[in-house]
A and B are shown apart, each in its own frame.
Chain A
């Protein structure tokens, strides 16, 4: 299985400030088609996960442009340009290159 490692585990942030979450995979997630098969999800307290970013850098429908994904190969980053209070929750990266799809351990963003 591909292991996904996120850091930090916890991220205290101030509204209006930027935030960054790192995700590293145990093998390259770069597909032969040139896309990185990594997604980012946010799970707000008591809710289901919601897709933020797919294929490494594509924002899902309805996701504010303050969220961006970057990276390639085995190192990826989710950035929030200016954190808002509604961004609090657990953030997960997930690899979709091969089954089993695997998640990072999560990063708790506290505002």
Chain B
């Protein structure tokens, strides 16, 4: 059974750096085809994709946030860490991590969607 759980500070001050950890079980980020993505959702607003890390260490970032985001993985701890610098009030929201897997049929790989999500962790940016 795959599970993911986000953890980190509930309150950060403006200009500070946010560090969030996604601790997972039921899969390995060394397995071919596995990804973990990060998302956020401001209060009352739509979901926003932030970043993605692949089993092969490839990383992708939202272009609007690329200068502020870093995602890393610790496969020995089954964790993915997201850091976001220079936090501001507009960064307030709930942050989620989610599992995605590429199925390979022998010739092509297909993404199977973000099938398992963490419960989310709320972050408020305020002085």
Contact = CB atoms under 8 A, between A and B. Distances in A.
Interface string A1-30: 100000000000000000000000000000
B117 interface: yes
A77 to B, nearest CB: 17
Contacts of A39: 113-114
Specify the main secondary structure of chain B where it touches its partner.
strand
Contacts of B114: 39, 41, 49, 51, 94
A1 B48 CA distance: 12
Nearest to B111: A96
Specify the main secondary structure of chain A where it touches its partner.
loop
Nearest to A49: B117
A55 B110 contact: yes
A60 interface: yes
B96 interface: yes
Indicate the member of A96, A100, A104 with the most B CB atoms within 10 Å.
A100
A72 interface: no
19 contacts: A1-B63, A33-B110, A37-B111, A49-B98, A49-B114, A51-B113, A53-B113, A54-B115, A55-B110, A60-B113, A60-B115, A61-B115, A94-B47, A99-B49, A99-B60, A100-B49, A100-B61, A101-B37, A105-B46
Interface of A: 1, 33, 35, 37, 39, 41, 43, 48-51, 53-55, 60-61, 92, 94, 96, 99-106
Interface of B: 37, 46-49, 52, 60-64, 96, 98, 108, 110-115, 117-120
